[in-house]
Amino acid sequence: MTELPKFNAYINGEWVAPSDGRYFETVNPYTAEVWAQVARCTPEDANRAVEAAHTALTRGEWSKLNATQRGALVHRLGDLIKEHAQELAEYEVRDNGKLINEMLAQCNYLPQWFYYYGGLADKIEGAVIPIDKPDVFNFTRHEPIGVVAAITPWNSPLLLLSFKLAPALAAGCTLVIKPSEFTSTSTLKLMELVEKAGFPPGVVNVVTGFGAEAGAALVEHPKVAKVAFTGGTESGAYVYQQAAKTLKRCTLELGGKSPNIVFDDAVLDDAIKGVISGIFAATGQTCIAGSRLLVQEGIYDEFVTRLVDFARSARMGNPLDPNTQVGPVTTPQQYDKILKYIAVAKDEGAEVLLGGGPASGPECGNSKWFVQPTIFGGVHNKMRIAQEEVFGPVLSIIRFKTDEEAVEIANDIAFGLAAGVWTQSIKRALTISNAIRAGTIWVNTYRSISYMSPFGGYKMSGLGRENGIEGMKEYLQTKSVWISTATDVPNPFVMR
Ligand code: NAD
């Protein structure tokens, strides 16, 4: 029997075995085969990585680079990602079973994060404050916040990591990354490029393993200044609590249950494609999934009939086949969760319009984790299927009459990550976009993301913003410097 590839952690510029020698298995969701072993890092490994990152931040070569030199390194990493996009995408597919088309498009787009933030590195300027005191020169500096723990989920590992890595490096921070235990290898492959780009040891480190072990140790470590977390709302809220004990800054990109609202004046063909892309692309395993479809009464029957017909034609299959449109679910836990929610929806009285169970057949290969694209009609917003994140190919359709009712339903939820609005009226587009409590609103499009535009959640969908200039500010802190030019010594017992 051939031995499985073994992936070690990346700490202080070296590939290191876990301190207690234990590895865990990683499974390809399409073949259902264990294809690699990954270091199960301990809290001791996490502590070593934080120490390395802290040394690189405070004393190493990295701390002596100027912003232009730092930016050039970040840019160089972008070039290397571009050269290796195909290879990285294949690792992503082997790890999470998402479509090669989707992962290749993501990996080809990743360099833009490194070019954008690499360019921004030397354009972060402080200010001279026209201070209201005599004989004082006061200015501000924006300094790196410190060591960052970047914790990522399994659905788009490299994209969600790039949201953090590119601005953090450009800001001058150092990082310890903890990828999801289900999808560690693409992040480790990226470290080969970090090394090749010439980042000094300790600037970027990766500890692989489990949230409660390596992840928790990072969140608790007093030398970590910031946690940049993407994952579920429950784990995010727990991480926030733990991080509060040492007053760490946190950005939390969490779950969603986004409304996709189709008004009666929408271009129906466009809206159908937008709705499909919002829920069945990536097998529904995206935080921005438009999993609550709100359809206006006048077009309800026609729209739903056409939507179901379109969804029925979705091709399931091998994610490495460029013709596949819906791949397997990434993990057995997630597969069970999706089926549980399908059962809940049926119990609640929702009507199955399409799918509604596990999928099997030759197109599913050896995978045991295919779920049929599923559409429920007759859903009310108070049902669990309308309120809780499924993170799978399951769409709930809710009927509405007026614009006011659409807004009320859209906002009647704990989440606020994104929303879609389909209308030809500019007035309606603006009014509804302003009224919806979510961090991203798409009008006549869905599932668009850019390195330039801030992304993040309202309410239980998270804290802080990634991407754009706002995303960079999350890795900086401001220092105010006061220089006195006074010649006389003022009264020391009175505040100046
Ligand atoms: P998860 O919360 O289970 O895990 C995310 C990461 O956190 C993993 O690396 C995990 O090991 C780590 N982790 C878990 N508990 C931890 C702890 N106590 N301390 C430190 N680290 C811990 O999420 P998941 O199942 O991997 O991903 C799916 C979830 O992520 C969904 O809810 C989805 O909506 C969300 N998500 C959000 C966004 C966004 O940008 N808002 C993007 C993608 C995914």
Task: Give residue 489 CA to ligand 1 midpoint distance, Å.
Answer: 56
- Asked if 250 is an active-site residue, the reply is no
CB of residue 28 inside a 6 A radius of ligand 1: no
- Kindly tell me the burial class for residue 149, based on how many C-beta atoms sit within 10 Å of its own C-beta (0-12, 13-18, 19 or more): buried
Cβ–Cβ under 8 Å, residues 366 and 395: no
Task: Give residue 476 CA to ligand 1 midpoint distance, Å.
Answer: 24
**pLDDT of 119 higher than 80:** yes
Instruction: Give the pLDDT of residue 113.
Output: 98
Say which of 213, 253, 389, 466 is annotated catalytic.
253
* Tens-place pLDDT, residues 230-271: 999 999 999 999 999 999 999 999 999 999 999 999 999 999
- Return the higher-pLDDT residue of 143 and 367: 143
Total residues belonging to the chain: 496
Task: Give residue 461 CA to ligand 1 midpoint distance, Å.
Answer: 12
Instruction: Give the pLDDT of residue 120.
Output: 98
3-class secondary-structure state, position 353: strand
Ligand 1: atom nearest CA of 182 is 26
CB of residue 454 inside a 6 A radius of ligand 1: no
List, in order, residues 6 or more apart from 465 with CB less than 8 Å away. Answer: 251, 439, 454, 455, 456, 471, 474
Neighbours of 258 (CB within 10 A): 31
**pLDDT of 158 higher than 70:** yes
Q: Give the DSSP letter string of 205-273.
A: EE--S-IIIIIHHHHH-TTEEEEEEES-HHHHHHHHHHHHTTT-EEEEE-----EEEE-TTS-HHHHHH
3-class secondary-structure state, position 141: strand
Ligand 1: atom nearest CA of 455 is 40
CA distance 23 to 16: 12
CA distance 331 to 98: 11
- Under the banding of pLDDT at 50, 70 and 90, the label for residue 479 is very high
Rounded to two decimals, the pTM is 0.97
Instruction: Give the pLDDT of residue 366.
Output: 87
- Under the banding of pLDDT at 50, 70 and 90, the label for residue 148 is very high
List, in order, residues 6 or more apart from 286 with CB less than 8 Å away. Answer: 155, 156, 447
Instruction: Give the pLDDT of residue 2.
Output: 72
Cβ–Cβ under 8 Å, residues 213 and 42: yes
- Under the banding of pLDDT at 50, 70 and 90, the label for residue 368 is confident
Instruction: Give the pLDDT of residue 222.
Output: 98
The residue contributing the CA closest to ligand 1 atom 20 is 215
If you average pLDDT over residues 82-105, what whole number do you get? 96
- Asked if 287 is an active-site residue, the reply is yes
CB of residue 151 inside a 6 A radius of ligand 1: yes
CB of residue 95 inside a 6 A radius of ligand 1: no
If you average pLDDT over residues 393-397, what whole number do you get? 98
If you average pLDDT over residues 38-46, what whole number do you get? 98
Ligand 1, from 279, 287, 337, 453: best to mutate by most atoms within 8 Å of Cβ? 287
**pLDDT of 1 higher than 70:** no
* Tens-place pLDDT, residues 271-322: 999 999 999 999 999 999 999 999 999 999 999 999 999 999 999 999 999 9
CB of residue 467 inside a 6 A radius of ligand 1: no
CA distance 169 to 299: 49
The residue contributing the CA closest to ligand 1 atom 16 is 211
* Tens-place pLDDT, residues 446-467: 999 999 999 999 999 999 999 9
CB of residue 255 inside a 6 A radius of ligand 1: yes
CB of residue 464 inside a 6 A radius of ligand 1: no
- Kindly tell me the burial class for residue 29, based on how many C-beta atoms sit within 10 Å of its own C-beta (0-12, 13-18, 19 or more): buried
If you average pLDDT over residues 189-216, what whole number do you get? 98
Closest CA to 191 of 58, 35, 68, 84: 84
Ligand 1: atom nearest CA of 232 is 32
**pLDDT of 490 higher than 90:** no
Ligand 1, from 235, 337, 463: best to mutate by most atoms within 8 Å of Cβ? 235
* Tens-place pLDDT, residues 48-61: 999 999 999 999 89
- Under the banding of pLDDT at 50, 70 and 90, the label for residue 494 is confident
CA distance 228 to 167: 11
Instruction: Give the pLDDT of residue 49.
Output: 98
Strand partners, 375: 354, 395
Say which of 41, 107, 250, 287 is annotated catalytic.
287
Cβ–Cβ under 8 Å, residues 188 and 208: yes
In the β-sheet with 128-129, what is the strand arrangement from edge to edge?
128-129, 136-144, 476-484
How do 462-463 and 128-129 pair as beta strands?
unpaired
